[in-house]
Structure 1
Amino acid sequence: MATDFWSSSHYKRWIVDRATLRQARSDDLQYVDNPEHLAFLNIFFANLISRLGRKLQLRQRVIATAIVFFRRFYVKNSYCETDPFIVAAACCYVAAKAEESPVHIKHVVSEARTLFGEYGIKTFPTDNSKLAEMEFYLVDELDCDLTVFHPYRTLMTLVGKGTSAASDTEVGEAEDGPRYWGTGEGKLELSEQAIQTSWFIINDTLRSELCLLYPPHLIAVAAIYLTLVFSTTTRAQIQASSAHPSSASSAPHAHPDPTRRSSRSASSSSKKHAQPPDLIGWMAGLNVSMSLVATIAQEIISLYALWDRYSEDAGAGEKGSLRHAHALRGSRAAKEAGSRSGSAEMSEARDEGAQGEVRITPMFLVQLLLHMRQKRMEDLSHPANGRPVAVNKMLERTQAAG
């Protein structure tokens, strides 16, 4: 597995621009009344994969990898020409293998069929060979690029946490690699609740196409930035610790280690107990474009505003997200973020009647997908030039290859 993001296939082949994404959705746009519906499909399938991953008892990193695989697959394909439900199941199956947490194919088929049945999908195959066949199609469309870098490791490194109760450390990636986000000096000390908020924000970004547009370390920095913006308590704690560094550093010097020489002890102690950085200084010290971080933050806020109009039953599929955490606990950080100018998603749902907004439901999106596929099949069967077009791309390639 590649330990350097900049030399990996993730960076070289799977960070794309918006023009590529628009081109990928060009066929789908012909069969939807509102282009926003495609953004709702991103939310729906991310939630669906998350639910399936939890049923399969997959770690959060594996679920995130499965969602990234799903996004990559639909850079080259369209919803109207494929069955996204079997693609979602195959993404979970392949991601579990890629992240060394394999699950039996029978278990995936069984759980997927049960889960998808809740959305009225009765056509999911019971034959294991269908999912195995889709696995090969998926890996082929991914160009066998199964290495995925996630923002979680950068988040935990920037806050000085190798492990955390809220974390799922990325096993297999070198911790001592090049610090592409900065010098690594001066960790930002965040509380467990603040780290969890940043972690949930990263989870939430998977409901969009940000993982295809930006490197993961920028998403991690944007998540930290939004956490600091949302939580006045976290900002106050950091500012207090940076304003009074003597109290934090006085304890280690009070009882020096007698087994070490004084100079060595002083140098090691000064390294270990460096003065906590102030927020502005810490952000300025990062080797990243702050304008780009601000752009990502604005896109995350826009995602929450869109997500506010999506209605999932009882928060299904939202576990591990900031929205779900707010719904369950009414966390202080989320309450502070609930202003309309911030993230509308973290506040309570808008009054639909007062706002006059149409809420999007999973059943509406399932019907939309069926309509898109039906119309696409009709267009392919009766094209303007009178020549039918092969629907199954993979079958067409196989026949051409003999």
Structure 2
Amino acid sequence: MATNFWSSSHYKRWLVDRATLRQARSDDILYVDHPEHLGFLNIFFANLISKLGKKLQLRQRVIATATVFFRRFYVKNSYCETDPFIVIAACCYVAAKAEESPVHIKTVVSEARMLFVEEYGIKTFPSDNSKLAEMEFYLVDELECDLTVFHPYRTLMTLCGKEGGGSFPEAEAGEADADDFDGPRYWGTGEGKLELQEGALQMAWFIINDTYRSELCLLYPPHIIAIAAIYLTLVFHAPTRAAIQQAQAQAQPRASTSNSNSHPHGSSQSHSPTRRSSRSMKKPLPQHQHQPQDIVGFMAGLNVSMPLVATVAQEIIALYALWDRYSEEPNVGPAFVQKTTRKGRSAGKVQAQPPAQATAQEGQEGAPVTPMFLVQLLLAMREQRIEDMAHPASGRPVAVNKMLERTQAAG
């Protein structure tokens, strides 16, 4: 694995701008009622990858790599023209190989089929192993064989000086040792470590996990995302925030006292030094008490753009605001209606509401969204796209147009 992020394919080819992402979703946005539905799809797909990864007993780093592969694939493709569920299975399969945690292809197909068919009703997922093997080649080709991915966990563990243990897997925390560059580290001098409580460090880790529900991994370097996660932790973790406020409150009286002592008229003893007896010189000096770390100063000393970190932090907060309207609960919307009907149980109050009406209400702006609504949305997008390709405005199918373009290009 490459140790220098700045010379890697991740930095050189897979950090894109927002214009590129808008162009990638230009076809999909034609088939959704609200642009925010694409944000819900980002959350939905990341949750599916995480669920499949846990069924396959993959480490968090492997799940994160699979999510990045999925994001990169759809920089060049549209949801409405592909099957995202076979892509998810292929991403988990390839990521397990790339991170040296291989899983047998039969296991991936069986677990993926069980997840997609039984929980989400995706009956089109193939049971043939050759279909996933074929998708693997398409995926690696679209990724341009760039299978090295840098993650924010690395910077988080390096900044905090953690080498495994506790709530963090040793294989992932040990990645901090691979951060070997010539000269100063890209996030600072490398001198000193950030002292965070175990709970605060775990919160920063979870925030990094949550960022994969968005496209931040395509927009910003991983060390910026890690520092933004730490920044949010300092704000949201109550004990850490209280410690920072207490340290700042104690620093203000010290600063005022030192300023008054340094003033020429601050005290009468400043003109004549006090004589010390030999008895007082023999007394041992009191031991220096451990002073709390200046966390604010540590953050300010990092060699990064703090306005950029604040921007990423705002985008993470916006992700949480969108995520609050996404519900995996089975008793919300049409997902509960279809599930209870299939099992033959009474659906209670929700059953009185037709599934079509519930889906229509979910599609409204500001309403909660469920996975079943997104599954139905994906199917509708794909059907409409196929219809538009068969009957375009020009009167000729898209396949014919592409054949003509290739013929003309060949001369």
**Residues matched between the structures, number:** 332
Q: 1:7 Cα shift?
A: 0.3
The partner residue of 1:358 within 362, 367, 370 is 367
Greater C-alpha Rg: 2
The partner residue of 1:206 within 202, 208, 212 is 212
* Percent identity (aligned): 77
Counterpart-to-counterpart distance in 1, 2:145 and 2:93: 15
Matched, 1:121 2:122: yes
- Alignment map for 1:3-402 (pairs within 5 Å): 3-117=3-117, 118-168=119-169, 169=172, 174-178=178-182, 179-237=185-243, 277-313=293-329, 357-390=366-399
Contact 1:4/1:177 (CA < 8 Å) preserved in 2?
yes
1:187–1:314 CA distance, 2 compared to 1 (3 A): farther
User: More deviation in 382-391 or 171-180?
Assistant: 171-180
RMSD (Å), alpha carbons: 2.8
1:7–1:276 CA distance, 2 compared to 1 (3 A): farther
Contact 1:186/1:276 (CA < 8 Å) preserved in 2?
no
Which secondary structure state, in structure 2, belongs to the residue aligned with residue 39 of structure 1? Answer: helix
1:98–1:224 CA distance, 2 compared to 1 (3 A): same
Q: 1:280 Cα shift?
A: 1.9
1:204–1:4 CA distance, 2 compared to 1 (3 A): same
Higher relative contact order (CA 8 A, sep 6+): 1
Contact 2:89/2:112 (CA < 8 Å) preserved in 1?
yes
Contact 1:21/1:75 (CA < 8 Å) preserved in 2?
yes
Q: 1:276 Cα shift?
A: 5.4
TM-score (norm: length of structure 2): 0.76
Q: 1:274 Cα shift?
A: 9.4
In structure 2, what is the equivalent of residue 331 of structure 1? none
Q: 1:237 Cα shift?
A: 3.5
Name structure 2 gaps, 5 residues minimum. Answer: 252-287, 332-360
Counterpart-to-counterpart distance in 1, 2:137 and 2:291: 53
How far does the alpha carbon of each residue in 1:52-87 deviate from its partner, in whole angstroms, 9 at most, with x for none? 000000000000000000000000000000000000
How far does the alpha carbon of each residue in 1:200-224 deviate from its partner, in whole angstroms, 9 at most, with x for none? 0000000000000000000000000
Which residue identity lines up with residue 233 of structure 2 in the other structure?
A: T
How far does the alpha carbon of each residue in 1:166-187 deviate from its partner, in whole angstroms, 9 at most, with x for none? 2242666714335110011221
Q: 1:122 Cα shift?
A: 0.7
In structure 1, what is the equivalent of residue 350 of structure 2? none
Counterpart-to-counterpart distance in 2, 1:14 and 1:357: 32
Which residue identity lines up with residue 123 of structure 1 in the other structure?
A: T
1:112–1:232 CA distance, 2 compared to 1 (3 A): same
User: More deviation in 299-308 or 166-175?
Assistant: 166-175
Name structure 1 gaps, 5 residues minimum. Answer: 245-269, 316-351
TM-score (norm: length of structure 1): 0.77
How far does the alpha carbon of each residue in 1:218-251 deviate from its partner, in whole angstroms, 9 at most, with x for none? 000000000000123113335667969xxxxxxx
1:274–1:86 CA distance, 2 compared to 1 (3 A): farther
Contact 2:56/2:111 (CA < 8 Å) preserved in 1?
yes
Contact 1:219/1:296 (CA < 8 Å) preserved in 2?
yes
Which secondary structure state, in structure 1, belongs to the residue aligned with residue 386 of structure 2? Answer: helix
Contact 2:164/2:173 (CA < 8 Å) preserved in 1?
no
User: More deviation in 185-194 or 61-70?
Assistant: 185-194
Counterpart-to-counterpart distance in 2, 1:165 and 1:52: 25
Counterpart-to-counterpart distance in 2, 1:139 and 1:274: 53
Contact 2:28/2:381 (CA < 8 Å) preserved in 1?
yes
Q: 1:90 Cα shift?
A: 0.3
Q: 1:387 Cα shift?
A: 1.8
Counterpart-to-counterpart distance in 2, 1:280 and 1:238: 8
Contact 2:163/2:173 (CA < 8 Å) preserved in 1?
no
Contact 2:163/2:174 (CA < 8 Å) preserved in 1?
no
Counterpart-to-counterpart distance in 2, 1:14 and 1:285: 28
